[in-house]
Amino acid sequence: MKKGLNEIIRRAIARAQERGELPEGALPPLIVGYPRDERHGDYATNVAMAMASHTKKAPRAIAETIVRFIEDAEGIIERIEVAGPGFINFFLKEAYWHYFLREADRQGERYGAGELGKGKRALVEFLSANPTGPLHIGHGRIAAFGDSLANLLEKVGYKVEREYYVNDRGTQMQLLGQSVYSRYLEEWERAVAFPPDGYQGAYIREIAHDIKKEEGDKYLSAPKEDVINLMGEKAAHLILGWIKDDLERFRVRFDRWYRETDLYSSGLAPRLLEELRGKGYLYEDGGALWFKSTLFGDEKDRVVIRGNDATTYFASDISYHKDKYDRGYDLLLDIWGADHHGYIPRMEAAVQALGLDKSIFKVILVQLVNLLRDKKQVSMSTRTGEFTSLKEVIQEVGVDACRYFFLLRRADSPLDFDLELAKKEGVENPVYYVQYVHARVTSIFKKAAEKGVEIPTFDNVDIALLRLPEERLLAKRVAIFPEFVEGMALALEPHRLTSYLQDLAGIFHSYYNKHRIISDDRELTKARFLLVKVIQGVVRSALGLLGIAAPAEM
RNA sequence: GCGCCUGUAGCUCAGCUGGAUAGAGCAACGGACUUCUAAUCCGUAGGUCGUAGGUUCGAAUCCUACCAGGCGUGCCA
């Protein structure tokens, strides 16, 4: 509807200009928004005020002029007001909102779907946590965010693929192997120095213990280097399995697990470095090979091959992203933890150096989670093994509450996750408030069935009977759902859905308490059935986008 | 030091590309169940939007400086 009004206003201004009633000239960006206060209309625009400065006319006079030239061909506008300093407020006809109830009912699950991404493919790479330890709570936030964002993009028409990039080689793998090896030796009571930066978590001991149990002492005599590599691989494989289990439980599914080692077995990584060298973007210094990322705005140049001949993760990432581009997506999103933000300039530099279209590549940073236990911050480090696992948190607070909690805040905003509070919140958690809407509607229909009340289809319902203010508010929420979804997809901000849901739930609960759906008035009952059915559908869709269940009873 | 993010009610946070009287949940207090689920509703109270300037018809939103917190600043990821 925003778009529709946009056109109507634009045409009105154009006509006014043709008649010489408004000066010619470029229009300011036309903004149609929702007024905070319903008394200011369903939609409002500030265009008259925006035009005031360069036309040297009073904003209210401009507004009056525009209003005089507005033509409402489809007859959806109830009335228009010029208000305040020069707002133009639009009040739409009930029938207009009711039209969307019909649409929502007709389209069912598809309602709210958009065309923004029609015919386009998007790749969302997220999480990509190193398989060096179990997922912790900070990973949970990224997983919830990435998955919901992917859902959102799907809803507006993108063909979306979710991808997890697995760092299964390099320094961290070495360290993992060394850590397991040390613990393995300890199992046999061999004196051994634990690697200084090694992974100290208890899970490393478990892995070492299991290796001992299943394979005995065969690794005691084998060459150390080989054993470390082998144990690194074993451990990574095992840990990746845990990660997959946790994600399964968290309802996050990936379409592809892209392994870093594949970049080397396919030869892509070395080829890409050659290409960069050929373009003159690489140089040697101090025994290392550097990429001239400063040419593209990075603070300093970055190493791609170290003095010890090892390639850096950055080298892998260059080829990985080149591969993403080669796969032909229209949108490439990377979701990273905010601690990686220093990495963005070099990644963008690499994209440009390869002559790729920077505009389709976007990194979204998700701020880390501060875990609070007894109001005190728990330091989190996979290396020291001091962290609270995602699995543990899911068990304590449940998947639904957990996901909702993570998506309650903007990705930009750091999140304090107070374990006690999250647990305690239980029934008071807003997620239940929203889910309860869904359950309540189910309950209404169950009751209706018991009473033998007919569940209508749209053909035999008179929607115009819905005349209560609350009914208008509800119909309106249903109506704006599609453009709301589109707005979120454009801004890449799934968290707005929680505000939308709580707003809708609030109006619904209030309505439910004040008025009866099932009454002696058959026709009114049918109309209300339709309304609540449609609301239930929207709630279900919205919860679905968040990856949260819509329970039939609670 | 430099860079990025954040600073809004007692707490946790919304506030959609600059708009009208800044919102919600929790916590606090007072009410509402013989009715379709009270996991709900109704009401009360709670604010120098970190500070100081600037831009303009208009700023929580944009710009500058400063203050506070987080993160980064490596031949780690």
Per-position DSSP letters for A194-215, written without gaps between them: PPTT----HHHHHHHHHHHHHH
Nearest DNA or RNA nucleotide to A518 (CA to C1') = B36
Residues 349-408/A with CB within 7 Å of nucleic chain B are: 365, 367-368, 408
Among all protein residues, pick the one whose CA is nearest to the C1' atom of B73.
Answer: A342
Which residues, including other chains, have CB under 8 Å from residue A491's CB and lie 6 or more apart? none
User: Last residue of a domain, which of A43, A71, A92?
Assistant: A92
Report yes or no: A391 and A360 within 8 Å, Cβ to Cβ.
no
Q: What pLDDT is stored for residue A143 in this prediction?
A: 96
Separation between the CA of A54 and the C1’ of B57 (whole angstroms):
11
State how far Cα A324 lies from the chain centre: 20
Within a domain: residue A349? no
User: Last residue of a domain, which of A232, A262, A278?
Assistant: A232
Nearest DNA or RNA nucleotide to A338 (CA to C1') = B71
Cα angle A79, A83, A89 (rounded to 5 degrees) comes to 40
Tell me: do A83 and A184 sit in the same domain: no
Rounded CA-CA distance A443/A482 in Å is 26
Does strand B come within 7 Å of the CB of A172?
yes
Q: What pLDDT is stored for residue A384 in this prediction?
A: 66
Q: Which two tokens mark A535?
A: 């609301």
Which residues, including other chains, have CB under 8 Å from residue A482's CB and lie 6 or more apart? A111, A112, A113, A114
Within a domain: residue A406? no
Within a domain: residue A357? no
Within a domain: residue A321? no
Residues 104-163/A with CB within 7 Å of nucleic chain B are: 130
Q: In chain A, how many domains are there? A: 3
Within a domain: residue A255? no
Within a domain: residue A138? no
Q: What pLDDT is stored for residue A425 in this prediction?
A: 61
Q: What is the pLDDT along chain A (554 residues), one digit of tens a residue?
A: 778 888 899 899 989 988 988 887 767 777 888 888 888 899 999 898 888 877 778 888 899 999 999 999 888 999 999 988 889 999 999 999 999 999 999 999 999 998 999 999 999 999 999 999 999 888 999 999 999 999 999 999 999 999 999 999 998 999 999 999 999 999 999 878 888 888 988 999 999 999 999 999 999 999 999 999 999 999 999 999 999 999 999 999 999 999 999 999 999 999 999 999 999 999 999 999 999 999 998 989 999 999 999 999 999 999 999 999 999 999 999 999 999 999 999 999 999 999 999 999 999 999 988 877 766 777 666 666 667 789 988 988 889 989 998 999 899 888 888 777 777 666 667 889 999 999 999 999 999 999 888 787 877 899 999 999 999 999 999 999 999 999 999 999 999 999 999 999 999 999 999 999 999 999 999 999 999 999 999 999 999 999 999 999 98
Cα angle A269, A274, A280 (rounded to 5 degrees) comes to 130
Does strand B come within 7 Å of the CB of A33?
yes
Within a domain: residue A522? yes
Among all protein residues, pick the one whose CA is nearest to the C1' atom of B56.
Answer: A53
Residues 262-281/A with CB within 7 Å of nucleic chain B are: none
Query: Over the range A142-162, which residues count as b (16 or more CB within 10 Å of their CB) and which as e?
Result: bbbbbbbbbbbbbbbbbebbb
Which residues, listed in sequence order, are joined to residue A87 by a DSSP beta bridge?
Answer: A83
User: Last residue of a domain, which of A72, A92, A112?
Assistant: A92
Exposed / middle / buried, residue A371 (Cβ in 10 Å: 0-12, 13-18, 19+): buried
What amino acid is encoded at A19 in this protein? R
Residue numbers of the domain that contains A40 = 2-92
Separation between the CA of A519 and the C1’ of B17 (whole angstroms):
45
Tell me: do A433 and A542 sit in the same domain: yes
Q: Is A26 helix (H, G, I), strand (E, B) or coil?
A: coil
Q: What pLDDT is stored for residue A386 in this prediction?
A: 65
Among all protein residues, pick the one whose CA is nearest to the C1' atom of B42.
Answer: A510
State how far Cα A203 lies from the chain centre: 31
CATH number at residue A31: 3.30.1360.70
Does strand B come within 7 Å of the CB of A20?
no
Tell me: do A435 and A529 sit in the same domain: yes
CATH number at residue A435: 1.10.730.10
Tell me: do A84 and A176 sit in the same domain: no
Nearest to A406 by CA among A124, A112, A114, A127: A127
Separation between the CA of A525 and the C1’ of B62 (whole angstroms):
51
Within a domain: residue A261? no
Among all protein residues, pick the one whose CA is nearest to the C1' atom of B11.
Answer: A421
Rounded CA-CA distance A148/A495 in Å is 9
Separation between the CA of A71 and the C1’ of B10 (whole angstroms):
52
